[in-house]
Chains A and B, each alone.
Chain A
Amino acid sequence: MARALRYLAQAAVYLLIAVLLGVLSNSPVYRAFPRDQALIKLSLVHSAQRKVPCRKLSAEELAELAPNMRKPMSCSRERLPLWLEVRLDDRLVFSESLPPAGLSKDGPARAYHRFPVAPGRHSLSLKMRDSARTEGYDYQLDTEVELEALQNLVVDFRPESGGFILR
């Protein structure tokens, strides 16, 4: 191949690589979420109550312990599972008993769930039990939300702020 032709062929190969790099580096576009939907995202981390409630140690019991181990309360590590229910427009969309994390089941329970919904008004009902009760709820929130397309509504839980919060 003549020298000029060789350089031309080289340029063509470089062009091919450049096109490959240039094009694939940001296209084709990926549709990660439908444009005409909104998202309700349930994400919370909360420790349910202890399986065996803490108990105050008696004076004798305390005296038996080594001096550096004398804590007035005796607490088991294991936590109860967290029971959580979500109703969206009166439809039950989530109802689960979430186990505590950790090998000795002493960690918080976690929930992370995405609910794509149509934009507009929705009623949202959130209920949680973090104790050993089987009737009624420890926390509850019933509310109406107005969502735009592509809006990201986060359902979180902060006991210090009184329970469920929407962001």
Chain B
Amino acid sequence: MNRVKNGMRTGFMWVEDWLDRAFGPAWNPLYHLGALGFFYYWIVAASGIYVYILFDTGTTEAYDSIEYMTVEQWYLGGVMRSLHRYASDGMVLMMVVHMLREFALDRYRGNRWFTWFTGVPVFWLVIASGITGYWLVWDKLAQYLALATTEWFDWLPIFGQPIARNFLAPSLLDDRFFTLLTFMHIAVPLILLLVLWIHLQRVSRSRIHPARGLALGTFAMLLALSLFKPAVSQGPADLARVPAEVGLDWFYLAGYPLMDIWSKGALWAFTATITLIVAVLPWLPPLRRLPAAVVDLKNCNGCTRCTEDCPFNAVSMQPRSDGLPFEREAVVNASVCVACGICAGACPTSTPFRRASDLIPGIDLPDRSLRQLRRPFAPAASRPTGTGCGRLVGQGPRDRIRLRPRRRGARCRAAGRGRAQPALHRRPAALLHRLRVEPRSGGRRLHHRLPQGRVLSTFRSALDRGPPCPPARPLPAGPRAARADRHVLGRPDRPSAAGPGGGVLRRGTRRAAARARRPGAPGGHAGGLGRRGGRPWLGRFAISLRRRSTC
């Protein structure tokens, strides 16, 4: 199982890397699967309203009204119908990849169980919405579905009259059944929306809207597909004849052929077993309960950043209990903390670009502190610059950045990425989710992409108010940490929006420091890191740097 998961993770990372090059993190579809799922949902809902207006309920009216839409009103009704179909398919595609990705990245255990567990009914509600939708068309596919589905349900001894009998012969077909189906096709997606809302209850700043560029691209793709290959029906249903060949929508109906291979009971057993296994996956061994984040009050000034950045609402601010002259302190609710480590990255004392002192955030993960986390990155990033693009591999003390030759003239922007060790996914802190080593003109920078990407950091940049400074005190700087710090530093080679000031990074490598001291040298902290527009996911660090420097 673990081997499968590791393989999947490697696969995802590889694809993500490529998509990063094409889309950039803000538009990378794989980082926004849930949000894309929602986007598809809204397209389905909007086009569904239009299609519903033109739709007639009834055994012959249903098919005829849909034909009218598709043929005579192809420019609007037809497009809407196609959007409705393709966006529904897109939703399944996104949902399945989203689910596999959460699984591969081990994001379903511990306190994440709730989100995973509520994802299971979401899956079935999506599928049920699709099946009832195809049924309404009342073409040959619908006829096949109607019989196969009702026969399957009739296996359960819950209906007095077999429901398949509604579809025995044309004379037995009832308009009322279509009214019921139409009702179901509206009710099930609405219930789905409700369950999706529950699905996100534990995620405090869930992203349910994709970035505009990604949304536009997706919509343009759907529209083009709708015009190029409009959705059509498969001939009117005729209960006196058996549908021989049906074009299945494999996103929704891939399970149907199993009904002909296995018995109905076997298919029920299979479906129930798979659903059950997936639902209880968070509790299956190897059980790993990661220790929750812990607040170190000596280093907490009550600035609220961890509370604001924690994606799981696990940190609250409460009145100070230790007598230090601050109003509030951070308190972790261990029962919802998933040990992702984002709070440690949010804490102003924790910026990994600092060098003058050891890293002691006010909040940190007990078993994998920020300090430990950073250690392997530092030597890895200290390779000679300009020779290649790095990828951080390995785990724990064996982490290293593997450099591969850079094509001449190519900037190492995308390829020059150190991958946070896979252990970060398996083990807790996803703080350094991605680490990018960017050798450029002798300088070196480490970029951090936060697991939550843009939202957290734009949020962080928007939160541009100065917190009270932590108590001034000399921070212990062990020889090892100091050495590592020197390596990790970026070169202040560009002015930043953070403005001039005595940023910690000014005291970078000796060469950089010398340059910074030169008269007329641009002041700045992290060399462009403070730009808010272009790379907002870097914003937080710039701001944390600025905070430090103003203290």
Binding site for B on A (CB under 8 A): 1, 6, 9-10, 12-15, 17-18, 20-22, 24-27, 29-35, 38-39, 41, 43, 45, 101, 107-108, 110, 112, 150-152, 154, 156, 167
B251 touches which of A17, A24, A112 (Cβ 8 Å): A24
Q: Does B217 make an interface contact (CB < 8 A)?
A: yes
Could you give, for residues 1-27 of chain B, a 1 whenever the CB lies within 8 Å of some chain A CB and a 0 otherwise?
A: 000000000000000000101111001
Q: Does B164 make an interface contact (CB < 8 A)?
A: yes
A34 to B243, CA, bound (A): 9
A20 to B89, CA, bound (A): 10
**A22 and B239 contact, Cβ closer than 8 Å, known pairs A29-B246, A32-B260:** no
A1 touches which of B21, B157, B218, B240 (Cβ 8 Å): B21
Assess the B86–A14 pair: CB atoms within 8 A: no
Nearest-Cβ distance from residue B374 to partner chain A, whole angstroms: 30
Binding site for A on B (CB under 8 A): 19, 21-24, 27, 29, 85-86, 89-90, 93, 144, 148, 151, 154, 157, 160-162, 164-165, 168-169, 171-172, 217-218, 220-222, 224-225, 228-229, 231, 234, 239-251, 256-257, 260, 413-414
A50 to B228, CA, bound (A): 63
Using Cβ atoms and an 8 Å threshold, which residues of chain A touch B218?
A: 14
A14 to B223, CA, bound (A): 12
Closest-by-CB residue of B relative to A14 is B221
Nearest-Cβ distance from residue B68 to partner chain A, whole angstroms: 20
Assess the A31–B225 pair: CB atoms within 8 A: no
Assess the B21–A35 pair: CB atoms within 8 A: no
Using Cβ atoms and an 8 Å threshold, which residues of chain B touch A17?
A: 90, 93, 221
A116 to B546, CA, bound (A): 78
Assess the B93–A25 pair: CB atoms within 8 A: no
A39 to B260, CA, bound (A): 15
Nearest-Cβ distance from residue A167 to partner chain B, whole angstroms: 4
**A31 and B244 contact, Cβ closer than 8 Å, known pairs A14-B221, A43-B164:** yes
A26 to B221, CA, bound (A): 18
Assess the A45–B89 pair: CB atoms within 8 A: no
Assess the A167–B168 pair: CB atoms within 8 A: yes
Assess the A101–B169 pair: CB atoms within 8 A: no
Assess the A107–B85 pair: CB atoms within 8 A: no
A interface SS class = mixed
Assess the B231–A152 pair: CB atoms within 8 A: no
Q: List 29 A-B contacts (CB under 8 A).
A: A1-B22, A6-B24, A10-B22, A14-B221, A17-B93, A18-B222, A18-B225, A21-B86, A21-B93, A25-B249, A26-B234, A26-B247, A29-B247, A30-B257, A32-B148, A32-B242, A32-B244, A33-B243, A34-B244, A39-B242, A43-B165, A43-B168, A45-B162, A110-B162, A112-B164, A150-B241, A156-B168, A156-B169, A167-B169
Using Cβ atoms and an 8 Å threshold, which residues of chain B touch A43?
A: 162, 164-165, 168
Using Cβ atoms and an 8 Å threshold, which residues of chain A touch B229?
A: 22
Assess the B160–A152 pair: CB atoms within 8 A: no
Using Cβ atoms and an 8 Å threshold, which residues of chain B touch A15?
A: 221
Using Cβ atoms and an 8 Å threshold, which residues of chain A touch B225?
A: 18, 21-22
B243 touches which of A1, A25, A32 (Cβ 8 Å): A32
A150 touches which of B221, B231, B244, B250 (Cβ 8 Å): B244
**A9 and B22 contact, Cβ closer than 8 Å, known pairs A25-B249, A156-B168:** yes
Using Cβ atoms and an 8 Å threshold, which residues of chain B touch A20?
A: 93
Closest-by-CB residue of B relative to A103 is B157
**A101 and B157 contact, Cβ closer than 8 Å, known pairs A24-B250, A26-B247:** yes
Using Cβ atoms and an 8 Å threshold, which residues of chain A touch B228?
A: 22
- Which one of A22, A31, A39, A167 has the highest number of Cβ atoms from chain B below 10 Å of its Cβ? A22
Using Cβ atoms and an 8 Å threshold, which residues of chain A touch B160?
A: 101, 107-108
A31 to B242, CA, bound (A): 11
**6 interchain residue pairs of minimum CB distance:** A9-B22, A26-B247, A167-B169, A14-B221, A24-B250, A18-B225
Using Cβ atoms and an 8 Å threshold, which residues of chain A touch B21?
A: 1, 6, 9
Using Cβ atoms and an 8 Å threshold, which residues of chain A touch B172?
A: 167
Nearest-Cβ distance from residue B286 to partner chain A, whole angstroms: 34
Assess the A10–B244 pair: CB atoms within 8 A: no
Nearest-Cβ distance from residue B251 to partner chain A, whole angstroms: 6
Using Cβ atoms and an 8 Å threshold, which residues of chain B touch A30?
A: 245-248, 256-257
A20 to B249, CA, bound (A): 11
Using Cβ atoms and an 8 Å threshold, which residues of chain A touch B171?
A: 167
Assess the B168–A154 pair: CB atoms within 8 A: yes
A43 to B239, CA, bound (A): 14
A151 to B243, CA, bound (A): 9
A151 to B169, CA, bound (A): 11
Assess the A152–B220 pair: CB atoms within 8 A: no
A102 to B539, CA, bound (A): 66
A1 to B412, CA, bound (A): 9
Closest-by-CB residue of B relative to A112 is B162
Assess the B165–A10 pair: CB atoms within 8 A: no
Using Cβ atoms and an 8 Å threshold, which residues of chain B touch A39?
A: 242
Assess the B231–A25 pair: CB atoms within 8 A: yes
A61 to B465, CA, bound (A): 90
Given known contacts A6-B24, A10-B217, what 18 new A-B pairs fall within 8 Å (CB)? A13-B22, A17-B93, A21-B89, A24-B89, A25-B89, A30-B257, A31-B244, A32-B243, A32-B246, A32-B260, A107-B160, A112-B151, A112-B162, A151-B241, A154-B168, A154-B169, A167-B168, A167-B171
A39 to B229, CA, bound (A): 34
Closest-by-CB residue of A relative to B240 is A152
**A150 and B251 contact, Cβ closer than 8 Å, known pairs A24-B89, A112-B151:** no
Using Cβ atoms and an 8 Å threshold, which residues of chain A touch B144?
A: 32
**A26 and B249 contact, Cβ closer than 8 Å, known pairs A14-B217, A20-B93, A107-B160:** yes
Assess the A45–B249 pair: CB atoms within 8 A: no
- Which one of B19, B154, B161, B244 has the highest number of Cβ atoms from chain A below 10 Å of its Cβ? B244
Nearest-Cβ distance from residue B533 to partner chain A, whole angstroms: 16
Closest-by-CB residue of B relative to A110 is B162
Closest-by-CB residue of A relative to B243 is A32
**A13 and B86 contact, Cβ closer than 8 Å, known pairs A26-B249, A30-B248, A150-B242:** no
Using Cβ atoms and an 8 Å threshold, which residues of chain B touch A107?
A: 160
Using Cβ atoms and an 8 Å threshold, which residues of chain A touch B240?
A: 151-152
Using Cβ atoms and an 8 Å threshold, which residues of chain B touch A151?
A: 240-242
Nearest-Cβ distance from residue A127 to partner chain B, whole angstroms: 21
